[in-house]
Chain A
C-alpha cells in the first residue's frame, strides 16, 4: 500500500486495522454500558442518591409522639428523662404511627433494660445517676418505684454515694474515709432534687486543709502536719494531693 509515495510495510497496515477495530469496539461498548446518569453531579451515578433516599425509615423521631400522647410527653418534659427520646425505650415507631392498633410498641418492664444506662460503671461520668443493680432492690422491677416518664427516686438519696459511687469507693480506700463529703463540700438541699442547678462548693484556700493539717491545729496527732504557709510553694493543696485519695502518688 502506498501513502505519500512511500510504501507502508504490511505489518503497519495489519496492526492499524486491528487497532481501529479495538477502539471502535470500545467506544461502542462504552455507549451501551455506562449508566446514562453517570457523571451528572460528580464521578458517580446520580440515581444512587435517589436509591439511598428511598430507604425505609424506622425511627419516627421524638416530636411526633406528641400528636397522640401529649399527656405523657408533657409529664416527661419536666422530669429527668425529658431529653430521652420515647423511642429509646419504646423502639422504632414509624409503623405504629401508620397503624397504632396493628403495631403496638413494646415497653421494657424487666429489670434488664434500665441498667443499660444506669448500672454503675466507673467509666461513666461522675454525677450521672448509677446504681449497683445487684444490691439495689434486686427483687423488684425498676418501674415499681420509678415512673419511667418522670423517674425521680421515691425519696431523695440519703447519701452522696448514691450518685457519686466512684468517688465514694475511691475515698473509702483512703485516710479520708471518715471525713464526711459535706465537711469539704457545702451542699444545698436542692442538690439532691436538681443536681446541676444547685452545685456543692469546693474549698478555695489552703487554710481549709490547714484546719486539720496545719502545724498548730487541734486534731489527733496521727494526722500529718505541714507548714501551711510554705509547703508546696504557690500551688493549692489539691493540685498535688487528690483529696479523695491523698495517698495516691
Chain B
C-alpha cells in the first residue's frame, strides 16, 4: 500500500518536473513567448493550477542541537540559486559558537561554512558550550527591508516569502542596510539586491528548499506556520522556540529550538 502511494506521488512529481523542464526549454527557445503580459497566463496553466499563495504561510524551524555544521546546506543553496561561489555572498550560512568560561564568546563562519569547519585547537576544558547555528533570511512578517525599499522592488508575498524583483531594483542598497540579520547582499553580476527566497521556485511546486533537502540530520524543518498538519507545527509544539533579535519586532519566521542566549 505504501508502495502504491509513493508511486502515485512520484508520478505526480515526475509530471511536474517534465512540465517544468519542457517549459524551461520552451522559454529558452522562444523568449518572446514569455513576455511580461503573457507569463501571467502561462503561469496559471502550468504551475498555479493548484497553488494559491493565500492558502499558505511558510516558515522554517531550525533545531540547533541537531546541526553538525557540515555546510551541505550552504553548498546546496549556492548550487540551486547560482550564487557566486566566492566567500562574500551568502543566502545561508552556518556559524559556530564557542562559549568560553571567563572570556568573550568566539563565533566563526569560515567561508560561510560551505566546506564545514575545522576543529579548533582550544583547550576543551574552558569551552563550556559549543554549537552550530544556521542562518538565513528570516522572511519576516514585518520586514524592515521591504519598509525601506524606495521603489517597490522588494516585497512580501501573500504566503509570507520576501522576494526581490531584480528587473526593478535600482541597487541603492537601502534594504541591505535595513536588514538586522545580514541576510542580504548585492549580486555582483546583476548589481541588484539578493537574498534567500525560501527557494520560492521550488516550494510553489511542493518541493522543499534546497537547504532543507540537503540537511543530513533534519536540523532544518520547512513547513506551514498555520496549518496543523505541517511538520513545522509539530516542531513548534515540541520545542521552546526562540527567534533572532526579537526586540526589533521584525516578526521573523525562522524559529530556533534550543537557542542559546549568546546567539545574535
Contact = CB atoms under 8 A, between A and B. Distances in A.
A92 B217 contact: no
A44 B214 contact: no
B34 A85 contact: no
A168 B231 CA distance: 35
Q: For chain A, what secondary structure do more than half of its interface residues adopt (helix, strand, loop), or is it mixed?
A: loop
Interface stretch (B181-189, B204-212, B241-249): B204-212
A102 interface: no
Nearest to A53: B201
A67 B165 contact: no
B163 A48 contact: yes
B98 A123 contact: yes
Interface stretch (B70-78, B85-93, B134-142, B172-180): B70-78
B200 A58 contact: no
Given A49-B163, A63-B9, A83 B125 contact: no
Interface in B106-153: 115-120, 124-125, 127, 130-132, 152-153
B21 interface: yes
- How many chain B residues sit at the interface, stated as a range, is 35 or more
B65 A125 contact: yes
A66 interface: yes
Contacts of A128: 68, 217
Contact of A44 (B66, B71, B152): B152
A46 B40 contact: yes
Interface in A149-187: 166, 169-170, 173
A88 interface: yes
B216 A49 contact: no
A54 interface: yes
Contacts of B154: 44
A67 B208 CA distance: 19
Contacts of B4: none
B167 A61 contact: no
Interface in B1-20: 6, 9-10, 13-14, 17, 20
B68 A117 contact: yes
Nearest to A83: B218
A223 interface: no
A245 interface: yes
Query: Most chain-A Cβ atoms within 10 A of its Cβ — which of B6, B37, B79, B216?
Result: B216
Given A120-B119, A121-B118, A170-B125, 8 more contacts: A46-B40, A48-B155, A55-B81, A92-B79, A122-B124, A123-B69, A128-B68, A128-B217
**What 3 A-B pairs come out closest when comparing CB atoms?**
A48-B165, A44-B155, A123-B130
29 contacts: A36-B37, A42-B155, A45-B167, A47-B39, A49-B200, A53-B204, A54-B24, A55-B201, A57-B20, A60-B17, A61-B213, A64-B10, A83-B217, A85-B214, A85-B216, A87-B213, A92-B80, A116-B72, A116-B115, A117-B70, A119-B119, A121-B69, A121-B118, A123-B69, A123-B98, A123-B130, A125-B67, A173-B124, A173-B125
